Amino acid sequence: MNDLDPIVLFAVFMEMLGLPLLILLVLGSVVGTLAFFSLLLRERGIVARRMLYSQATGLIGGVLALVLMAKVSSSGFTDAGGPADWLLIAAIFGLGLVGTTIVVYSISGWARALRS
Amino acid sequence: MDNDDKRQLSRRTFLTLSALGAGAAILPVSTANAAAEKLRTSARIVIVGAGAAGLSLASRLSKALEGASITLIDARREHFYQPGFTLVASGIKPQDYPVSRTADYVPKDVRLVEERVSEIDPESNQVTTESNTRFDYDYLFVACGMVLDYASIEGMDTSRIGSNGMGSFYHGPQAAHATWEEMSRFADRGGVGVFHRPNTEMKCAGAPLKYAFIVEDYLTRRGTRSRSEVIYNSNNKALFSVPIVSEKVRMLYHQRDIQMNYDRVLQAIDLDRRVASFSSPEGRVDLDYDFINVIPPMKAPDVIRNSPLPWQTGAWANEGWMEVDRGTLRHARYPNVFGVGDIAGVPKGKTAASVKWQVPVAIDHLLADLSGTTSDALYTGYTSCPMITRLGQAMLVEFDYENNLMPSFPGLIAPLEELWISWVMKTMGLKPTYISMLRGRA
């Protein structure tokens, strides 16, 4: 299975997004994830109230991810034709939701931690 | 696990990851990209043509060989991502979307000669350019593509593409954009739209069909469908060479009230009166049109037709396609010559996805020759066509020489299902994968 070459995938995504944006996205997700988990360690758990409003914002993030996807793929909102499409839509929405939730949770958590 | 399974798995794996990352490909990944030790050789290798096949060959040869003299010859400085022409002609992408520069993809150790090839002599292993410069070779890759034979349609004038109801997006990015503008005007008014394909081998045989689908969709969206007729004239008795795909397209055309005629080949066009004349078993049929997408006959360039390289007998002798083995792409009479891409006289495979599968096979045989071994790498005819069936949906049709469907992702992306995910691949994933292929990275 040397076909599963991450360098190939990196090359394709680099052509798709351009190197600066790709690096920014990779760095963003790495920094976001690190910030989230380090916050969990620091606070020894999840702050329920903050998580709740982060998730609420995450819903908007999910919708925005779908809007962005529709725009860059020149699609309408009635183009889903089969199960694979619904899976892709769910994946995009999920990615937007989880990403936004983590970012909002981390930013507000660290902002509070650094203030105090 | 046999080779077919491996190949299918590699396609599936790649497609899975591509879909996750917004559908990055139907040009599958092969193993040749894996870092390998370079083979030392002093071989002189000439590549004629710097299109999709020529540039991919140059990039991969440069990565695989040390000390070889690799020369790439092509006069055209611009590189066209041809699968993008339909998207430009459909108003989905701008005119410059398919255009980039050849030089951007040429590896440093490959010599690019920006000249037209005037003669290929496989007897003396020599290629001559227009300036009379001669290049001796030990191995030759012919990847010169094909020519569009507009002149064989009586009355056709490419300078009038985009006016008085005539479009022809195969002619180039500018023509594709002009075709879009004219088609858009037609969609606003409605009328008779005529679509057809030539009676020769052609690149991307799905393009004529998908454009009829797209225009029909525009007429519907702009409220002019009820006062319009959409007519598709096929050159033979099928809509597509793969029977199961042909039947699916027939069903969809029937659903959308697209009239289908068979055995009709465009012979002449009156651009002033807007009349297209087709040959048919019943004789000449004249069709008045308000919009037509002209797709010219296609044939090998003169430099190949005037050489000993084409098929000598059979259906492909007239059109001049190179007589290569359909599995190895090696020339039948000149074993140090390979034909890759559109110029190869093989039953299918005039698409960018075919190039993706052909290039590693031809290179594998060259490397085997250079190292005194043999290779069992074979091209099975893999071709793929994201058949757009309406704006926002496509069928991901993949097949081989035997007309087998070769779905990269069976059970998830059904080959004959109209899906958004296939549209996403076509509009977002295909070009980056294609460019990576040119750079020898995918």
- Helices A6-17, B3-20: axis angle to 10 degrees equals 40
Pairing of strands B192-196, B229-233: parallel
Residue with tokens 């096949």: B53
Question: Residue A96 corresponds to which tokens in the numbers above?
Answer: 């937007």
What is the DSSP-derived secondary structure letter of residue B350?
-
Residue B144 among the catalytic residues: no
**Chain B residue with minimal CA distance to A66?**
B22
Question: Residue B186 corresponds to which tokens in the numbers above?
Answer: 């037609």
Given a contact cutoff of 8 angstroms between Cβ atoms, the answer to whether B12 and B26 are in contact is no
pLDDT number for residue B187: 98
What is the DSSP-derived secondary structure letter of residue B38?
P
Q: What percent of chain B has pLDDT over 70?
A: 92
Closest by CA to B155, choosing from B267, B279, B286, is B267
Q: What is the DSSP string of B64-106?
A: HEES-EEEEE-S--EEE-GGGHHHHHTTSS-TTTTEEEGGGGS
pLDDT number for residue B331: 98
What is the spatial distance between Cα A5 and Cα B154, in angstroms, rounded to a whole number? Answer: 51
pLDDT number for residue A10: 87
Mean pLDDT to the nearest integer, B408-418: 90
What backbone torsions phi and psi does residue B62 show, to the nearest 5 degrees? Answer: -60, -35
Active-site choice (B113, B337, B385, B387) = B385
Burial of B108 per CB tally in 10 Å (0-12, 13-18, 19+): exposed
**Chain A residue with minimal CA distance to B13?**
A4
Average pLDDT, chain B: 92
Indicate whether A102 belongs to any domain.
yes
pLDDT number for residue B256: 98
**Distance, in angstroms, between A16 CA and closest chain B CA?**
5
Given a contact cutoff of 8 angstroms between Cβ atoms, the answer to whether B242 and B208 are in contact is no
ipTM of the complex, rounded to two decimals? 0.89
Q: Chain A contact for B36, CB < 8 A?
A: no
What is the DSSP-derived secondary structure letter of residue B308?
S
Query: What SS3 class is residue B304?
Result: helix
Handedness of CA B396, B399, B404, B406 (dihedral sign): negative
Is the pLDDT score of A47 beyond 70? yes
Mean pLDDT to the nearest integer, A67-88: 91
pLDDT number for residue B391: 96
Mean pLDDT to the nearest integer, B4-12: 46
pLDDT number for residue B79: 98
Given a contact cutoff of 8 angstroms between Cβ atoms, the answer to whether B306 and B144 are in contact is no
Which of B97, B393, B420 is most worth mutating to test chain A (most A CB atoms within 10 A of its CB)?
B420
H or E segment and range at residue B48: strand B44-48
Question: How many domains is chain A partitioned into structurally?
Answer: 1
Mean pLDDT to the nearest integer, A83-98: 96
Given a contact cutoff of 8 angstroms between Cβ atoms, the answer to whether B292 and B276 are in contact is yes
Per the structure, the complete domain to which residue A82 belongs is given by: 6-115
Is the pLDDT score of A2 beyond 70? no
**pLDDT tens figures, B176-220:** 999 999 999 999 999 999 999 999 999 999 999 999 999 999 999
Mean pLDDT to the nearest integer, B370-378: 97
What is the DSSP-derived secondary structure letter of residue A73?
T
Residue with tokens 């009230």: B257
**pLDDT tens figures, B162-177:** 999 999 999 999 999 9
Indicate whether A1 belongs to any domain.
no
Mean pLDDT to the nearest integer, B359-366: 98
What is the CB neighbour count within 10 angstroms for residue A113? 12
Query: Domains plus CATH for chain B?
Result: 30-146+301-380 (3.50.50.60), 150-298 (3.50.50.60)
Q: Chain A contact for B25, CB < 8 A?
A: yes
Indicate whether A37 belongs to any domain.
yes
Given a contact cutoff of 8 angstroms between Cβ atoms, the answer to whether B387 and B414 are in contact is no
Query: What SS3 class is residue B263?
Result: coil
- C-beta atoms of B417 and A82 within 8 A: yes
What is the spatial distance between Cα B98 and Cα B85, in angstroms, rounded to a whole number? Answer: 7
pLDDT number for residue A5: 72
What is the CB neighbour count within 10 angstroms for residue B274? 19
Q: Chain A contact for B91, CB < 8 A?
A: no
Contact pairs from chain A to chain B, CB under 8 Å: 115
Question: Residue B125 corresponds to which tokens in the numbers above?
Answer: 């292993």
What is the DSSP-derived secondary structure letter of residue B324?
B
Closest by CA to B196, choosing from B69, B293, B89, is B293
pLDDT number for residue B9: 41
Question: Residue B269 corresponds to which tokens in the numbers above?
Answer: 């066009």
Q: Chain A contact for B92, CB < 8 A?
A: yes
Indicate whether A71 belongs to any domain.
yes
Please write down the HEC assignment for all residues of A85-102. HHHHHHHHHHHHHHHHHH
pLDDT number for residue B36: 63
What pTM was estimated for this model as a whole?
0.91
Q: Chain A contact for B433, CB < 8 A?
A: yes
What is the spatial distance between Cα B233 and Cα B208, in angstroms, rounded to a whole number? Answer: 10
Q: What is the largest CA-CA distance in chain A?
A: 52
Which of A7, A8, A25 is most worth mutating to test chain B (most B CB atoms within 10 A of its CB)?
A8
Indicate whether A103 belongs to any domain.
yes
Given a contact cutoff of 8 angstroms between Cβ atoms, the answer to whether B57 and B145 are in contact is no
